[in-house]
Structure 1
Amino acid sequence: MRVRNLPTPVKRVVHMGSRGFGRLTAEKRMLPSFLICGGQRCGTTSLYRALAAHPVVLKAVLHKGVHYFDTSYQRGPEWYRGHFPRVRSAERITDKYGVPAQTFESSPYYMYHPQAAARIARDLPAAKIVVLVRDPVERAYSQHHHEVARAYESERDFGNALALEPARVHRQEVRLALDPAHYSFAHQHHAYRARGEYARYLSVMAQHVGRERIHVVESERFFTDPEPVYDEVCAFLGLPSGLQRPPFEKHNARPRQADMDPGLRRDLREYYRPHDEALVPWLGHTPLWRRG
């Protein structure tokens, strides 16, 4: 039986036991060679599942998002390494396919947490970063729907939630940058408008890890034409192509929301215009959602 299908209390016990054992055997475990760092509600789960199906890739134990470099950094490197497969497992795959096995995780909040990029650069100096971007208007709307569904958002009206955002996240980014122990629920779950300012976060990530180690994927292209996008990601990560193709499916999708207020949509689209233009150098073209 898959762990994610177990009742929540049982799942919690299994996770605790696995993490404890993983910490004890940390020196025998791999560290990730790449990370999916965002963005939130941009198809990260779908890409994670596709890459986890690659024959030379071993995924993180139990769940896709470890959230070490954002909200759990105080737990230490042994705790983090304890989430990944044993080196012995990687050696068997390397022997079978003749190429080094890789492992990874996907924590979309890494892209947004002010300290995550520097921590990644320090602790995983050779790791590559994959980032997905999506029409920021649709992304913000989807995130709000997602947070409401998880009971992390009490304001059910999207427009009202956007109006509350400045007060909710006021100075939280500064506090997170200055205080390693600070945590902000609002910054993680209620920054709907800010999350779509992709180029700003990519610039910070590049300052720390290097532009050449970051690969940006348009979610719209991945979902409409997944095979070439998957091949491009594999090439960037140094994963051999031609071994087998995974099933390309949408995961973690929510039922379709009611249509957004047209006036609010226009306002958001205009707000994101300069941010979308700043994304052009990363994509090499105008974002798909800005065409037509």
Structure 2
Amino acid sequence: MSEDILQDDFSKQSIPHFLIIGAQKCGTTSLYNYLIQHPQIIPALSKEVHFFDIYFEKGMDWYRNQFPSLESKRWITGEASPYYLFHPHAPKRIHQFIPKIKLIVLLRNPVDRAYSHYHHQVRMGTEPLSFNEAIKKEESRLKPERIEILKNENYHSPIYQNCSYLARGRYVEQLKNWMNFFSMEQFLIIRSEDFYSNPTLIFHRVLDFLGVQMLELKQYTKHNFGDYPKLNSQFRNELLTYFEPYNRELYDYLGVDFGWDK
């Protein structure tokens, strides 16, 4: 079946108008929950559909059924699967079926993101190692899994998804992969720290990007956050040093300094 036929067929159905593609532990759950309070934004059956990373074998009919039937052209729908940004096959797959999609990306200081991600996996019962040990073993854990994912597109690796603490924070590598398929105009890239400090301003930026009416929420409740000990300052500085060249490349690539030097 040709790509044009697939796209025409899919366009007859309710399709996502936007995707929040990541990054994990950067505010995606909070943002999605704010968006679906808007009367013009109708939610998917679940926030994280994970079709283009984990469930691609289920096929497009299954994906269509994750979204509501829209009775008005004023309504839009979307989902938020933060593994999409990191998954090597997701951008190609998404471009094949919804090439005009609007893409929202939240990026957080990669040290804070990694530490939050680690504690999330500990709470989920999937990470038995200490943070230091997990960081030391990350490359040996991920390398064979990535090789298998690239070799077999239908291979799903919980290790690659769950234990990628440093790799997911090398944002520039991921964005370059995405921008091989999509134009810069299709992205809204948000600094998570700005979202946390001024959710109203960022929420309105997102509404403007999506082309829906402005809305003021009564409150901006944080979702999917947890309490955990503060990261050791020496180890934090080591991680800041590790990420510095990747952050600098990101700033140069996007033309924006995110200020993640502390």
State TM-score, norm by structure 2.
0.91
User: Counterpart of 1:76?
Assistant: 59
Residue 65 in structure 1 maps to residue 36 in structure 2 = no
Q: 2:19 aligns with which of 13, 17, 35?
A: 35
CA distance in 1, matches of 2:218, 2:241: 38
Q: Which has the higher helix share?
A: 1
What CA distance in whole angstroms lies between the structure 1 residues aligned with 2:256 and 2:126? 36
**Structure 2 residue matching 1:181: 3-state secondary structure:** coil
| Alignment-derived partner of residue 46 in structure 1 | 30
- How far apart are residue 105 of structure 1 and its match? 0.3
Given the superposition, is the C-alpha separation of residues 283 and 233 from structure 1 closer, same or farther in structure 2, using an over 3 Å criterion? farther
Letter of the 2:88 partner, please give it. P
Report the secondary structure of 1:84's partner residue.
coil
Q: Does the aligned pair in 1 maintain the 2:200–2:216 contact within 8 Å? A: no
Offset of 1:261 from its aligned partner? 2.1
The equivalent residue for 2:69 is 86
Question: Structure 1 residue 281: deviation in Å?
Answer: 4.6
> Is the contact between residue 222 and residue 229 of structure 1 (CA under 8 Å) also seen in structure 2?
yes
Letter in 1 for 2:149: L
| Deviations, residues 102-126 of structure 1 (Å, cap 9, x unaligned) | 1000000000111000001111111
Q: Name which of 107, 119, 124 aligns with 2:81.
A: 107
Q: State percent identity of aligned pairs.
A: 35
Per-residue CA deviations over 1:119-170 (Å, capped at 9, x if unaligned) read: 0111111111101000100110010100010011111x10011111111111
Tell me, what secondary structure is at the counterpart of 1:290?
A: coil
**Any residues of structure 2 matched to 1:19-34 within 5 Å, and which?**
29-34=13-18
Aligned residue in 2 for 1:286: 257
Residues 142/266 of structure 1: CA separation in 2 closer, same or farther (3 Å cut): same
Which residue does the alignment assign to 2:96?
Answer: 122
**One-letter code of the match for 1:108?**
P
Q: Which 5+ residue runs of structure 1 have no aligned equivalent?
A: 1-25, 95-99
Larger mean CA deviation between 276-285 and 189-198 belongs to 276-285
- 1:101 offset after TM fit, Å? 1.0
Over aligned residues, Cα RMSD in angstroms?
A: 1.8
Per-residue deviation, residues 185-238 of structure 1 (Å, max 9, x unmatched):
110000111110011101111111222211111111001011221121112221
Normalised TM-score (structure 1) = 0.82
Contact 1:84 1:103 in 2 (8 A): yes
* Structure 2 counterpart of 1:222: 195
Match of 1:8 in 2: none
More displaced stretch, 197-206 vs 165-174: 165-174
The verdict on how the C-alpha distance between 1:28 and 1:209 changes in structure 2, with shifts beyond 3 A counting, is closer
State which of 89, 99, 118 in structure 2 corresponds to 1:144.
118
User: Could you say what secondary structure the match of 1:110 adopts?
Assistant: coil
